A and B are shown apart, each in its own frame.
Chain A
Amino acid sequence: MPGENILIIGGGPAGLEAARGVADLGYKAILVEKRDRLGGTPDSANYAALTHGMRDASEVMAEIVAAVSGNPLVDIRLNATVTESSGAAGDFRVTLQENGGPATVEAGAIIVATGFDHFDPGRATQAYGYYEYDDVITLTDAEAMLKEKKFVKPSNGQAPDRVCFIQCVGSRDRQLGNEYCSKVCCGIASKQAIEIRQLLPQCKVFIFYIDMRMYGYWENEIYWPAQEKYKVQYIRGVISEIVKKGDRLMIRGEDTTMNRPMEVAMDIVILSVGMEPSKGTKEIARILGLAQNKYGFIDPAHGSLDTVSTSVEGVFVAGAAAGPKDLDDTMGMAGAAAMKAAALVRRKSKAPSPLSSPPVGERVG
């Protein structure tokens, strides 16, 4: 029954996990992805090891993709975008733009899993010279190099002696309009610092931070080992500017806990860019009429006790489309969204649960 279909927009971790959940509950998932392959940002942005746990990102994503590929209850639509939507909970009609042209799908509920974009350090400030200096890079640029197990100065291909991270680039900044904390960058920078030290034991690695936000087990699994075992230097104080000096970069800031100004040379500066709502997230929010917060993320309608319901009945959100999220948060939200979407279509269609009759095939449960 079309009213029991659940449309999932976005083929990253949140969308994939939601699709798996929906199929496991015995409902049909229509998974729409604008790229020509599944895997989302961990795939498109070349993530190396995942924070935390340090598992290989491609390996993990392949597992998550395998859980939905070939599943008869998951209808995967690649190279497809949502252009229009009408109807209401239990009876949405959504227009897709696919390779072959427009197509209409019917669904009882929608899960939005359109994710985030990495903050573009050239968007509002040139203080760090991201587009000016080859050796000023972002977490994602570093991640791609670390995935290849080759970490070098982009300017000359040589191994660096000194590398630093600048935290909170594009986050926690009233002037940029992003006042929120992006939540994962402290962990990712620390994880990358460990990877750099593993690859280049002679290279000194510094992290300049405002606060280290290593909640839960990130503290003992990433932060402490980075500092104690890998001798990563954590300096409280944010860099004000980067100036090129010879073939190195001079960074300027204050070592706040040692109460002194500092000006030191680095070979590579990594900007720990945060999260912003993706273009897709803003576009889908507009098409579906979802309330967004002032930053453009989709606002969960009921706060902490329900992180996945939106302002529109029958539309749910999972993952970083609803604000900065780590993978743990994302997977948890995806499961919750699948459960709530399934419950909604079941209620709306007033049909008995597919689970009330004996399951057909081994996918159920």
Chain B
Amino acid sequence: MATGTGTGASSAGLARATPGGSVERGAEPPFEEKLRLFNEVTQDLRFPDYLYGCYECGICVAVCPSARFYDFSPRRIAQAVAREDVELVYEQMNRDVWECSQCFSCLRCPRQNNPGGIVTIMREVAVKNGLHSAKEALEGYSRIIYKIMSTGTQVSPDMIRPDAFPDWGPTAKETADNLEVWRRAMPPETMHTTSSSWEVDDKTLTELYLIWHLTGVLDMIKTLDESLHMILVDVMEEKLEEAGYPLGG
């Protein structure tokens, strides 16, 4: 499939001076590395369906909830890749893409572009390549990632802790301190669990672990958070080996 950027490898970036400046805290990689990341974005199979051409009408910004709260513009995302501005796309991968709420309101683009989809691809590239911004953006989610990947359930009662959710106010502390009691007092069937939302049976768990393993999610976690990866491997190792898929190493 001949897609990609059409006009070859070197940057067509028109200017280097960008208001706002660079925010990444890691060492600034050489241009070639930024170009490699750029190409990974534009060579993604979905990319040709996500960006046709942009006439810069700004409707995506007008409907974007994030644009109202951050210095974020889905138009700039689309324009930066369209202009093959390797430097700017790299900057955006380190900042802007994490300000998108992935609501896809921008799908009402009259050219049928999908700026939110481009953000999805850019985030994936950022995660797969262990960009500092991806680590930082996902830092707050390590407990949730751990919970989902190890138990197959989402937020569990024991995650409601005042240190994790300071904005929940004094109730969070009271709830956390007396979690067992609160759970037993609830009318619906909770199985009195506090470490997962509900019981997940072994077969389901094994299948989930297999999915994390075979689709590369585990490897992706490794690029972002090595200690979380180690903990998850500990949890999953035995079941995966029994299923005939040793993690190896």
Mark A residues whose CB is within 8 Å of B: 202, 204, 212, 223-224, 227-228, 230-231, 233-236, 255, 257-264
Contacts and interface: CB of A to CB of B under 8 A. Distances in A.
Interface of B: 5-8, 12, 14-15, 17-19, 52-56, 75-76, 79, 82-83, 111
Nearest to B18: A260
B55 A262 contact: no
Given A258-B79, A259-B19, A231 B7 contact: yes
B52 A258 contact: no
Contacts of A233: 12, 82-83
A182 to B, nearest CB: 20
Contact of A262 (B5, B14, B56, B75): B14
A261 B53 CA distance: 22
B48 to A, nearest CB: 9
A227 B55 CA distance: 9
B15 A231 contact: no
A204 B12 contact: yes
Nearest to A162: B12
12 contacts: A223-B55, A224-B52, A224-B53, A224-B111, A228-B52, A230-B6, A231-B6, A260-B19, A261-B15, A261-B17, A263-B15, A264-B15
A255 B56 CA distance: 12
Contacts of B15: 255, 258, 260-264
The 7 closest A-B pairs by CB, nearest first: A227-B53, A231-B6, A262-B15, A228-B53, A262-B14, A257-B56, A228-B52
Contacts of A227: 52-55
A33 to B, nearest CB: 41
Contact of B5 (A231, A234, A258, A261): A231
A212 B55 contact: yes
A258 B5 CA distance: 19
A1 B177 CA distance: 111
A264 B84 CA distance: 15
A364 B5 CA distance: 55
Contacts of B18: 260
B184 to A, nearest CB: 58
Nearest to B51: A228
Contacts of A202: 7-8
Nearest to B54: A227
Nearest to A214: B55
A231 B52 CA distance: 10
Most B CB contacts (10 A, CB to CB) among A212, A228, A261, A262 go to: A228
Contacts of A258: 14-15, 76, 79, 83
A363 B54 CA distance: 50
A261 B111 CA distance: 27
B5 A260 contact: no
A259 B73 CA distance: 12
Contacts of B76: 258
A235 B14 contact: yes
A255 B75 CA distance: 14
Contacts of A262: 14-15
A261 B75 CA distance: 18
Contacts of A231: 5-7
Contacts of B12: 204, 233
A255 B54 CA distance: 14
A23 B141 CA distance: 81
B17 A260 contact: yes
Contacts of A263: 15
A228 B82 CA distance: 9
Contacts of B17: 260-261
A230 B2 CA distance: 12
Nearest to A203: B7
Nearest to B8: A202
B11 to A, nearest CB: 10
B7 A236 contact: no
A212 B82 CA distance: 17
A264 B56 contact: no
